[in-house]
């Protein structure tokens, strides 16, 4: 039997039909006592809590201001640290499209902000 290089073997495999490949895999499994199943890797312990925390962080958008526009602006100043003009411009722009209030919000802060805006009659969306 001649010695084939890996490249020669791969080139030959590229020419095979799906049925021939299936038969080849079955023969390899039987001959070497292995399976062609994909190995599933569990979560990596290092930094897993940081990754899950980042996935939980969300953004909150202002969709509608409601009747209490002045109170919503004050809340934006107080909770989001916005200046008066920026908050007013954002509430005016809500008519065109939802406005991002805050990004990368922790779940606890997200819930708190949502409740406070809803108390004032504003409609917010969490993404």
Q: Residue 108 belongs to a domain with what CATH number?
A: 3.30.1390.10
Q: What's residue 97's pLDDT?
A: 92
Q: What's residue 43's pLDDT?
A: 59
Q: What's residue 46's pLDDT?
A: 53
Q: Is residue 83 part of a domain?
A: yes
Q: Is residue 5 part of a domain?
A: no
Q: What's residue 91's pLDDT?
A: 92
Q: Is residue 34 part of a domain?
A: no
- Total number of domains in the chain: 1
Q: What's residue 2's pLDDT?
A: 78
Two structure tokens written together for 25:
């895999």
Q: Quote the domain boundaries for residue 102.
A: 57-126
Express each pLDDT in 25-81 by its tens digit: 889 888 888 876 655 555 555 555 555 544 566 899 999 999 999 999 999 999 999
Two structure tokens written together for 106:
């922790």
Q: Is residue 100 part of a domain?
A: yes
Two structure tokens written together for 111:
């819930």
Q: Is residue 101 part of a domain?
A: yes
**Beta-carbon contacts of residue 31 (< 8 Å; ≥ 6 apart):** none
Q: Yes or no: say if 48 and 97 are a contact pair by the CB < 8 Å rule.
A: no
Q: What's residue 18's pLDDT?
A: 86
Q: Is residue 89 part of a domain?
A: yes
Q: Is residue 10 part of a domain?
A: no
Express each pLDDT in 87-127 by its tens digit: 999 999 998 999 999 988 889 999 999 999 999 999 999 88
Q: Is residue 120 part of a domain?
A: yes
Q: What is the rounded CA–CA span in Å between residue 121 and residue 67?
A: 7
- In this structure, the dihedral spanned by the alpha carbons of residues 32, 37, 38 and 41, taken in order and rounded to 10 degrees, is -90
Q: What's residue 117's pLDDT?
A: 94
């Amino acid at each position: 039997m001649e010695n084939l290089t890996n490249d020669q073997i791969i080139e030959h495999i590229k020419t095979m039909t799906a049925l021939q490949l299936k038969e080849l895999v079955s023969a390899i499994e039987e001959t070497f006592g292995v399976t062609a199943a994909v190995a599933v890797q569990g979560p990596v312990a290092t930094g897993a809590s940081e990754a899950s925390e980042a996935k939980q962080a969300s953004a909150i958008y202002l969709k509608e201001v409601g009747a209490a526009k002045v109170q919503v602006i004050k809340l934006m100043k107080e909770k989001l640290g916005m200046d008066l003009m920026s908050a007013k411009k954002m509430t005016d722009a809500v008519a065109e499209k939802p406005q991002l209030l805050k990004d990368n919000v922790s779940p606890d802060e997200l819930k708190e902000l949502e409740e406070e805006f809803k108390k004032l009659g504003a409609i917010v969306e969490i993404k």
